[in-house]
A and B are shown apart, each in its own frame.
Chain A
Amino acid sequence: MLEIKDLHARIGDREILKGFSLTINPGEVHAIMGPNGAGKSTLSSVLAGKEDYEVTGGSVTFLGKDLLAMDAAERACSGIFLAFQYPVEIPGVSNMTFLRTALNSVRKYRGLEELSTPDFLRLMKEKAAKLGMSQDMLRRGVNVGFSGGEKKRNDILQMSVLEPSFCILDETDSGLDIDALRIVSEGVNSLRSPERSMLVITHYQRLLDYIVPDVIHVMHQGKIVRTGGKELALELESTGYAAYGQDAA
C-alpha cells in the first residue's frame, strides 16, 4: 500500500529525515517509536504534504501513485489521513460545514456523487453518537473551545466519516487522560480492516496497549534503526531510549 524509499527531508537548513525507508501492506498496523527529535512528527507531516518541509531525496509510492507529486488535499482525497498531534482551531467554520465540504471533496475525487443534506446529517448523527459527541459540538467552529480529548475525538470522527485507506496517528495519546485514550482507541480499532493500514507514531508504549500494532519500528536520527514485534515496545518501556542518547522518559 505504502512504500517509502530512502526518504530525505529538511526544514530550513536542517536535515531531519536521513534515508527513511518503510513498506506497509494493506491491513497492517505499524508503530513508530523513538526519542524526542528522532523525526517522527516530521515523517507524518511530510507524508501528509505540509509545505514547510522540503523533500530532498527518495520516493513515496501510495497505492501505486507518486505521493510526493500531490498536494495535501489530493493526498487526503486519495486516502491518506493524518490525525494531528495538535489539531488547530478554526473559528467561524462549523464542524458540520467543514466535514461536509471535506467529505464531498473526497467523494468527488473517488467518482462518487455528493451526499444529500439529509443523508449527510444521518451519517453524522450515527458516527458522532459512536464517539459520544454531542450535536452542539458539531455545530461549533472546528475544535473551537474543545478540550484536548474532544479535539482528538473530533479527529477520529473525521477519520470515520472520510474513510481513508491509510491513517497516520501522530502522538494521538499526547494530552489524553486514560478515559479519553480508551474512547479514542476504541474508535481507531473499530476502523481497522483488511483494506486499511495504519501508522501509529508514539513516544510511549502506553498507546500500544490499546492499539496493538503488527510491527514496531524504532526511529532515531531520521531513520529506522530497529524493527520487531509487539515485544519491542515492552523492552523499550523498561530500558527507555538510553541506547539512543536519551534517558528513559
Chain B
Amino acid sequence: MSADLHPIRTAAEQALSSAIDATLAAAPASGPIADLRRAAAKTFTENGLPTRRVEEWHYTDLRALMREALPIAGAPDAAAVAEAGKGVVAFPEAVRIVFVNGTLVESLSDLASLPAGLTVTSLEAALASGDPLLERIGSLSPKSYDGALALNTAFLRAGLLIKVAAGATVEKPLHVAHVFTGAAAATYARNVIVVEDGAKATLIESFAGVEGVAYQANDAMEMVVGAGATLEHVRLQEEGAKALHLGTLMLDLGKEATFNSFTLTAGAATSRVSLYGKLTGEGAHLGIRGANLLKARQHGDMTLVIEHIEPGCDSRELIKSVLADEARGVFQGKIVVRPEAQKTDGRMMSQALLLGDNAEMDNKPELEIFADDVQCGHGATAGAMDENLMFYMMARGIAKAEAEALLIQAFVGEAVEFVTNEAVRETLIARMEAWLKARAA
C-alpha cells in the first residue's frame, strides 16, 4: 500500500490527527487496547481519510465528504436524555440498551433485566475488569487500510461487549439503540458480540438523530459466531438528514454457523457501511440483505467483502436500492473464494430502482475465485420503474402514487422477507411504509 501513501492534507485530517493525539495522551499508556489505539492512530496519520483512489472507497470519497473534524460528543444532560429517549424505535419484545451521543444511558436501558444466557458489559467496565472479550477487539480487521475503522479504533472509548452463552437460545431480541441529539459532534461506538457454540440470538442496532444537525456517527463491531450458532442481525439506520454515518462490521462465522443480516438505510446525508465477513468453518451459512431508501441528495454506500475460507459454505447477498430525487446508491460486493473453499455456493445480487431523473446507482459486484469446484454468481440491475407494471395497476384503477408505492414495497419486500423474527420484520416494514408516506407527502 506504500504506493498509495499520501501526506495528510485537509484541515479535517489534521484536526482529526491532533484530536487522536489528545485522547491518546489521556488514555492508559499500555495494555492491548492502548496498543491497538496507537497502531490505528499511526495508520490514520499515514493514510488519512480514504479517497476514490482507494479501491474500496471508489464511490465514496470520504476525504471530500468529511470536511470537518467535530469535537467528540460529551455526556448528555438529563434534558438530552429525555429528548433522546423519545427517538428510539420500539421493537416489540426486545430488551433495549440505549446510547445517547455515544454514552451508555442506564436509565433508558434494560441492563438489569437481561434474559438468561445473555451477558452485556460496558466497555468501561470491561476495561476495568480486564474482560477476556476485549481480546476480540481488533482481531477481525481487514488487511487493507480502512479509514473509518482506523478512526473508530483510534478514538475507542465506549461500547458494549455482548456474550451469548454456549447452547443458550435467547428469544428476545437485543436492541442496541444509538441516538444523537444536541449540537454537532462526533460519536464513536465499538461493540463486540460473541455467540458461543450452539447459541442463538437476535441483535438489532438502530441509529437515529436530530434533523438539521451535521453530526458524525462512527460505529464498529466485531461479531464472532461459534460452531452451530446463529446470529440474526438487523441494522436500522435512520440518522438525521444531515448526518454522516460510518459503520464497520467484522464477522467470523464458524463451523455450520448461521449469520443472517438485514440493513435498512434510510437516513444520513452520507452513509457508508462496510461488512468484512470471513467464513472460517465448514458448512457455514451467510445471508446479507439490505434495502436503501434514499431521496434528496442522500448518498448511501454498502460495501461487502465476503471471504470463503473453508469448504462447503454458502453465502447469499441481496441489496435493493430505491433512489429518488438526486440520491446516489453505491453497492460494492466482493466474494473471495480461497483455494481450500471447495463446494462454495455464493450468490450476490444488487438491484436498483431509479425514481429520480438525477438519481445515480453505482454497482461493483466482484468475484475473486481460486477454487474450481464452486458455484458463484452475481448480478446487478439498475433501471426505472417498469412502465408495464404501472400501466397494469393503473388500468385496474390504482392511482399512480399508490401503484408506485405498492411496487416499491414489493421490490424491497423481496429482501426484508428474509428477516425471520416476525415482529422485527413487521417493525421494519412499518418503517419502510413510513418512508414511502413521507416521500409521497
From A27-35, A90-98, A200-208, the one touching the partner chain is: A90-98
Residue of A nearest to B396 (CB): A102
Please report A residues at the B interface, Cβ cutoff 8 Å: 48-52, 71-73, 75-77, 81-82, 84, 87-88, 90-93, 97-99, 101-103, 105-106, 109, 141-142, 158, 162
Query: Is B397's CB under 8 angstroms from A92's CB?
Result: no
Query: Is B398's CB under 8 angstroms from A102's CB?
Result: yes
Most buried by B among A73, A81, A105: A73
14 contacts between A and B (CB under 8 A): A48-B391, A48-B395, A49-B395, A72-B391, A72-B395, A73-B400, A82-B395, A84-B392, A88-B388, A90-B389, A90-B392, A90-B393, A105-B402, A162-B397
CA gap between A82 and B388 in the complex, in Å: 13
Query: Is A162's CB under 8 angstroms from B396's CB?
Result: yes
Q: Which of B389, B394, B413 contacts A72 (CB 8 A)?
A: B394
Q: Which of B388, B392, B394, B407 contacts A71 (CB 8 A)?
A: B394
Q: Which of A49, A88, A102 contacts B389 (CB 8 A)?
A: A88
Given that A51-B387, A101-B402, A105-B398 are known contacts, is A92 also in contact with B409, CB under 8 Å in the complex?
A: yes
Please name the 4 residue pairs, one residue from A and one from B, whose CB atoms are nearest each other, closest first.
A92-B410, A72-B394, A76-B397, A102-B396
Contacts of A158 in B (CB 8 A): 396
CA gap between A52 and B409 in the complex, in Å: 25
Contacts of B391 in A (CB 8 A): 48-51, 72
B383 to chain A, nearest CB (A): 15
B142 to chain A, nearest CB (A): 35
Is the C-beta of B399 less than 8 angstroms from some C-beta in chain A? yes
Given that A90-B389, A90-B407, A105-B402 are known contacts, is A98 also in contact with B395, CB under 8 Å in the complex?
A: no
Please classify the interface of chain B as helix (H, G, I), strand (E, B), loop, or mixed, using the class held by over half of its residues: helix
Query: Is B392's CB under 8 angstroms from A73's CB?
Result: no
Is the C-beta of B418 less than 8 angstroms from some C-beta in chain A? no
CA gap between A48 and B396 in the complex, in Å: 10
Contacts of A141 in B (CB 8 A): 410
CA gap between A103 and B398 in the complex, in Å: 8
Residue of A nearest to B401 (CB): A73
Place the interface of chain B in its size category: 20 to 34
Contacts of B89 in A (CB 8 A): none
CA gap between A105 and B400 in the complex, in Å: 11
Query: Is A49's CB under 8 angstroms from B397's CB?
Result: no
User: 8 Å CB contacts to A: which residues of B10-66?
Assistant: none
Given that A72-B391, A101-B402 are known contacts, is A93 also in contact with B396, CB under 8 Å in the complex?
A: no
Can you add 14 more A-B contacts, CB < 8 Å, to A88-B386, A98-B406? Answer: A48-B391, A49-B391, A76-B395, A76-B396, A92-B411, A92-B413, A98-B396, A99-B396, A101-B402, A101-B406, A102-B396, A105-B398, A142-B392, A158-B396
Query: Is A77's CB under 8 angstroms from B406's CB?
Result: no
User: 8 Å CB contacts to A: which residues of B382-432?
Assistant: 386-389, 391-400, 402-403, 406-407, 409-411, 413-414
Residue of B nearest to A89 (CB): B389
Contacts of B411 in A (CB 8 A): 92
CA gap between A111 and B35 in the complex, in Å: 72
CA gap between A91 and B402 in the complex, in Å: 16
Query: Is B389's CB under 8 angstroms from A105's CB?
Result: no
CA gap between A90 and B388 in the complex, in Å: 10
Contacts of A90 in B (CB 8 A): 389, 392-393, 407, 410
Contacts of A77 in B (CB 8 A): 397
Q: Which of A51, A87, A105, A162 contacts B392 (CB 8 A)?
A: A87
Query: Is B398's CB under 8 angstroms from A73's CB?
Result: yes
CA gap between A102 and B389 in the complex, in Å: 14
CA gap between A49 and B395 in the complex, in Å: 8
Given that A93-B406, A101-B402, A105-B399 are known contacts, is A73 also in contact with B389, CB under 8 Å in the complex?
A: no
Given that A51-B391, A88-B388, A88-B389 are known contacts, is A73 also in contact with B399, CB under 8 Å in the complex?
A: yes
A43 to chain B, nearest CB (A): 14
Contacts of B392 in A (CB 8 A): 84, 87-88, 90, 142
CA gap between A76 and B398 in the complex, in Å: 8
Given that A72-B391, A98-B393 are known contacts, is A91 also in contact with B414, CB under 8 Å in the complex?
A: yes
Contacts of B407 in A (CB 8 A): 90, 93
What is the 8 Å Cβ interface bit string for chain B, positions 184-218, against chain A (1 contact, 0 not)?
00000000000000000000000000000000000
Query: Is A91's CB under 8 angstroms from B399's CB?
Result: no
Query: Is A101's CB under 8 angstroms from B398's CB?
Result: yes
CA gap between A51 and B403 in the complex, in Å: 15
Residue of A nearest to B414 (CB): A92
Query: Is A109's CB under 8 angstroms from B397's CB?
Result: yes
Query: Is A73's CB under 8 angstroms from B413's CB?
Result: no
Q: Which of B387, B397, B400, B414 contacts A106 (CB 8 A)?
A: B397
CA gap between A93 and B388 in the complex, in Å: 15
A68 to chain B, nearest CB (A): 15
Contacts of A98 in B (CB 8 A): 393, 396, 398, 406
Contacts of A93 in B (CB 8 A): 406-407, 409-410
Query: Is B410's CB under 8 angstroms from A91's CB?
Result: yes
Query: Is B414's CB under 8 angstroms from A102's CB?
Result: no
CA gap between A49 and B393 in the complex, in Å: 12
Residue of A nearest to B390 (CB): A72
Query: Is A102's CB under 8 angstroms from B410's CB?
Result: no
CA gap between A93 and B398 in the complex, in Å: 13
Query: Is B398's CB under 8 angstroms from A97's CB?
Result: no
Contacts of A81 in B (CB 8 A): 395
CA gap between A107 and B133 in the complex, in Å: 61
CA gap between A141 and B414 in the complex, in Å: 12
